[in-house]
Each structure stands twice: as C-alpha cells, then as structure tokens.
C-alpha cells in the first residue's frame, strides 16, 4: 500500500520515522520524565525560570536592580540555537553547522556583520565557548542572555558576555537545586504541569502487551514522586500507583553520564527517600544513580530490545545512540504547532515553490548567455540577458511578500525549529541522525499499537530534484 496515502487519510501527525523500528522486537521501554512523561506548560515554566534567574542575578551576583524589569518572551528563543558566549551572539545553524541567522543582543545581524566576526560561516561546536539550547528548559536562559547582551550594549554596567553566560548558568542551576523553581511548581502544580490521561492509557496498554516500562530521570526522587503522583496516579486503571506501572524508576541519573560511565545504583526507600547501597543485581524498585551498562547486563537484555524516549537531544539521545546502542525516540514538542503551521501555509509554500521553479531555469539561462558573451568576446546576448533579468526581478517581487507571509506564521525571530530557509536546521540534522523516531508528544507513540513496524520513508536526494535544473542547451533553445 502507498504510505503517503496512509498519512493523508490519517487525522494525526503521528510518529515520524528516521530509522525502521519494530515495536514487536522491543521488550523494555524507558522514559525520561521532564518534558517526556511529564508535559509542562513550557511558557509558564520558563517564565518562572526567567524570574528566578533575575532575582538571583541581583541577590547573588550583584547585577543592577534594573535587570528585574526585563520582560519574559517565550518566543525569543527556540530549541537548537547556539549561544556564542565569547561574542555575545545567538546563532541558528544549518545542518552543516553554517550560520544562517544571528542575533547580537536582540538585534538581527546581517550577513556582512556575521562575516566580519566569523572568519568561516561554519561553527566548530566542540569549541567550549558555544552552548546549545538542547531542551525547552534552556529557553529562558537563551532569551535572557540576549536581553542582557542588549542591556550591556546600551551602556548598563554588566560583566563581559562570557561572564554573563556563566552567571546565568550558575543562577539557573542554583534555582533548580535550592528549590526556588521546584517549590513554586509544587505549590501551583496545575499551572506548570499538563495532565495527559491519553498518555497513561497508552502506558497501561503497553504493559498489557508485556512491555516492561522504566523511568530514567535526572530529577531527584522527591520531585519525581510529586510529579508522577500528580500526572500518572489519577488515571491508572490496571495499577494502583505509578511505582507498579514502572518496574524501575531511576532518579538523579545524571544523564548523559548514565549512558557513558559505570556508576553504582543506590536503592531508594519510597517511604522516606533514604538510600542504601546495592550489592546485588538490580531488581524492580526505585533507585538513584546507576548506569545503562549495569541495567542492561543485570536484566540480561540485548541493547537493541530497549527503546528509550526523551526530549533532550544531547542528554537523552545523542550520547545514548553513540555509546549505548539502545533504540531512541525523541519528543519534539514544538512540532505540535509546527505541523499545524506547515499545513496552514501549504498554499503559500506551493506558490513559492512554483515561482522558484520558474526562476531557477531563468537564472541558469542568464548564466549560460553571459558565459557565451565572455567566451566569444561579444555582446550579442545582451538584450536577451536584460529581458531575462527583468523577468527574474518580476518573480522576486512576487516572491518577497509571499516569503514574508510564510515566515510570519512561525517564530518571528528564528522561523521553524527544523529548518533554516529551505535547508534543514542543525537541530533537525541531529534529530535525523540520532533519533530512530520522533513525535510531538509521548501519547502520539503510545496511541500506536505496541506491535507497530515503523518503516522509514524513501528520502529524496539532491539528484531527485533534477527537473528544477534543466540542461543549459535545452533552456537556450527557447
Ligand atoms: Mg527531559
């Protein structure tokens, strides 16, 4: 059957497949907690993180009180951006790590300014002065960095860009550790956590199919318990408590080290959170720390029968795929809106594509005519060239408003998460390389049968678009 037909008839965006994944072969499914099992109201959560960071910058790092007036805007940053701590810029890269959009403070940098600062447009992400926005938990950090750089540019006495970035990392980390963020979430949990009954239905369905479920989270036991009590317990039908649903709940796991290093598991007493050393193989229960190698070996599992689902492209997926060989699924919550926006802009996208199809052959034709002039040292094609240039100009005049119209639907500063112009974004490239499948939320996967065979689609290569670039001779003949 034609796969595109299935997609067209299905009302849901479903699960997107990079690499074939047969759920019948998967015996154990692991879940990250924050932004995977637990859905947040991300705008509210990041607004809280923004407020806490500002308070701590003033209290702990002696920043001027005027920073407290900086307003939060969830749209200021998106996932996949790169922060240049040294130069104070925020960048969006293409799949080849080339800079495609750049902001210094809250001002867009034009191509010339970018070229002046960066000798090569290609960024070496192994350079420690770059930070990446790998999770929605970094949106407030990236946005605030842009605002503080802007303030410094406007003459407010603030430290160097690099120190601003370090201070932000420090206050965000401290806000998470000292309870400034989590205590507020705990008190007003319904403002921050989205209950998802569909997700719990799906989890129990997978258990009925004999799948073993486990959690690996970097959050501590106390916070994990509060969130899972709130979001999972009320919807359970076949189980009394989330600790029965998940055979193993591994807290404070320190991912990505969990996937790459050998660490000991500590057994957590669920009553009071106290911990004891574990001197035997792990058995169902609640743990702290540990590592993927011991987990896989103690349970006598083959790495490829484990599927792990997370939202942190680096912490959950990239290291795991490189070091561990478990299968991977990524939650990209931005897709829920982006897929809708792609649908709503389909008409204008088609108009842009059709104008581009008219424009590209004209450009080839102009280049061929100019070449002929140069090679024959004549001006015989001059008139024709002028005519063609004016045709291209007319097409550009039609294209510009259409492109602007399309862009305005997506993030006003950065556009789509998965693309830069017509290229794939660096984030999309990582998703494609490291996530076997991806979806906007966990319930999209759990709605599918636990027997699903996810097949990857045929991916077009550059030469598949051959019709766009006709041979020069052919175009010259008109
Ligand atoms: Mg997470």
Ligand 1 centre distance from Cα of residue 193 (Å): 13
User: At 470, is the secondary structure helix, strand, or coil?
Assistant: coil
Tokens of 90: 């925020």
Ligand 1 centre distance from Cα of residue 57 (Å): 25
Tokens of 368: 């061929």
Ligand 1 centre distance from Cα of residue 161 (Å): 28
Contact between 37 and 442 under an 8 Å Cβ cutoff? The reply is yes
Amino acid 316: pLDDT: 83
105-116 burial: b if 16+ Cβ within 10 Å, else e:
bbeebeeeebee
Question: Is 3 exposed, middle or buried, given 0-12, 13-18 or 19+ CB atoms closer than 10 A?
Answer: exposed
* Residue 180 or residue 473, greater confidence: 180
Contact between 418 and 78 under an 8 Å Cβ cutoff? The reply is no
466: confidence class by pLDDT, cuts 50, 70, 90: low
How many other β-carbons are positioned within 10 Å of the β-carbon of residue 266?
A: 17
CATH superfamily, domain 11-40+192-336, is: HAD superfamily/HAD-like (3.40.50.1000)
Contact between 21 and 448 under an 8 Å Cβ cutoff? The reply is no
Contact between 387 and 393 under an 8 Å Cβ cutoff? The reply is no
Helix (H) or strand (E) holding 130: strand 130-132
Beta strands in 311-406 (DSSP E): 327-331
Average of per-residue pLDDT values in the chain: 91
Amino acid 389: pLDDT: 96
Beta bridge partners of 268: 275
Mean pLDDT value across residues 270-292: 94
Ligand 1 centre distance from Cα of residue 34 (Å): 4
Amino acid 117: pLDDT: 86
Ligand 1 centre distance from Cα of residue 135 (Å): 7
Q: In the CATH scheme, what is the code of domain 337-416?
A: 1.20.58.1160
Ligand 1 centre distance from Cα of residue 39 (Å): 9
Nearest-angstrom CA–CA distance, 10 and 271: 45
- Asked if residue 180 has pLDDT above 80, the reply is yes
CATH code 3.40.50.1000 region(s) in the chain = 11-40+192-336
Ligand 1 centre distance from Cα of residue 372 (Å): 59
DSSP calls for 38-81: BEE-HHHHHHHHHHHHHHHHHHHH---GGGGGPPP-GGG--TT-
* Residue 13 or residue 234, greater confidence: 234
CATH code 1.20.58.1160 region(s) in the chain = 337-416
352-364 burial: b if 16+ Cβ within 10 Å, else e:
beebeeebbbbeb
Ligand 1 centre distance from Cα of residue 35 (Å): 5
Ligand 1 centre distance from Cα of residue 424 (Å): 23
Ligand 1 centre distance from Cα of residue 33 (Å): 6
Q: Which of 8-22, 138-152, 312-326, 379-393 has the lowest mean pLDDT?
A: 8-22
Please give the DSSP secondary-structure letter assigned to residue 119: S
Ligand 1 centre distance from Cα of residue 148 (Å): 27
Nearest-angstrom CA–CA distance, 237 and 227: 18
**What is the sign, positive or negative, of the torsion defined by CA atoms of 380, 386, 391, 396?**
positive
Nearest-angstrom CA–CA distance, 151 and 89: 13
Ligand 1 centre distance from Cα of residue 334 (Å): 14
* Cα diameter, the chain: 90
Q: Which of 9-18, 136-145, 212-221, 457-466 has the lowest mean pLDDT?
A: 9-18
- CA distance to 111, 132, 146, 433, per residue, from 98 (Å): 12, 14, 20, 17
């Amino acid at each position: 059957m034609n796969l595109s037909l299935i997609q067209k008839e299905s009302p849901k965006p479903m699960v997107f497949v990079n690499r074939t994944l047969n759920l019948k072969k998967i015996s154990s499914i692991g879940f990250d907690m924050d932004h995977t099992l637990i859905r947040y109201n991300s705008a509210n959560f990041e607004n809280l993180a923004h407020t806490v960071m500002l308070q701590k910058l003033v209290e702990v790092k002696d920043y001027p009180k005027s920073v407290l007036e900086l307003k939060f805007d969830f749209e200021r940053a998106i996932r996949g951006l790169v922060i240049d701590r040294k130069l104070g810029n925020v960048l969006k890269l293409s799949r080849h790590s080339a800079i495609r959009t750049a902001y210094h403070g809250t001002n867009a940098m034009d191509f010339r300014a970018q070229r002046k600062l960066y000798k090569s447009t290609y960024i070496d992400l192994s350079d420690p002065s770059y930070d990446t926005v790998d999770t929605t938990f970094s949106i407030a950090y990236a946005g605030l960095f842009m605002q503080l750089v802007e303030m410094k540019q406007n003459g407010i006495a603030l430290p160097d860009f690099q120190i601003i970035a370090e201070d932000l990392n420090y206050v965000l980390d401290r806000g998470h550790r000292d309870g400034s963020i989590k205590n507020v979430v705990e008190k007003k949990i319904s403002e921050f956590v989205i209950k998802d009954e569909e997700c719990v239905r799906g989890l129990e369905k997978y258990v009925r199919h004999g799948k073993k479920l486990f959690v690996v989270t970097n959050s501590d036991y106390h916070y994990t318990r509060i969130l899972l009590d709130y979001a999972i317990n009320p919807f359970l039908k076949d189980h009394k408590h989330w600790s029965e649903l998940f055979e193993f709940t591994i807290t404070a796991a320190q991912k990505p080290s969990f996937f790459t290093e050998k660490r000991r598991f500590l057994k957590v007493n669920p009553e009071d959170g106290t911990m004891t050393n574990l001197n035997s193989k792990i058995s169902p229960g609640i743990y702290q720390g540990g590592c993927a190698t011991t987990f896989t070996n103690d349970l006598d599992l083959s790495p490829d029968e484990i599927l792990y689902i997370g939202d942190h492209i680096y912490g959950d997926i990239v290291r795991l795929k490189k070091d561990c060989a478990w299968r991977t699924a990524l939650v990209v919550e931005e897709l829920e809106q982006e897929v809708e926006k792609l649908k709503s802009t389909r008409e204008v996208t088609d108009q842009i594509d059709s104008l581009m199809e008219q424009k590209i052959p004209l450009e080839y034709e102009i280049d061929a005519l100019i070449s002929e002039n140069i090679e024959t040292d004549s001006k015989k094609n001059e008139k024709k060239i002028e005519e063609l240039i004016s045709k291209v100009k007319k097409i550009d005049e039609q294209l510009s408003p259409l492109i602007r119209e399309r862009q305005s639907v997506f993030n006003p500063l950065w556009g789509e998460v998965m693309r830069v112009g017509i290229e794939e974004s660096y984030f999309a490239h990582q998703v494609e390389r490291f996530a076997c499948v991806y979806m906007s939320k966990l319930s999209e996967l759990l709605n599918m049968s636990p027997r699903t065979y996810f097949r990857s689609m045929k991916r077009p290569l550059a030469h598949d678009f051959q019709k766009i670039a006709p041979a020069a001779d052919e175009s010259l003949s008109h």
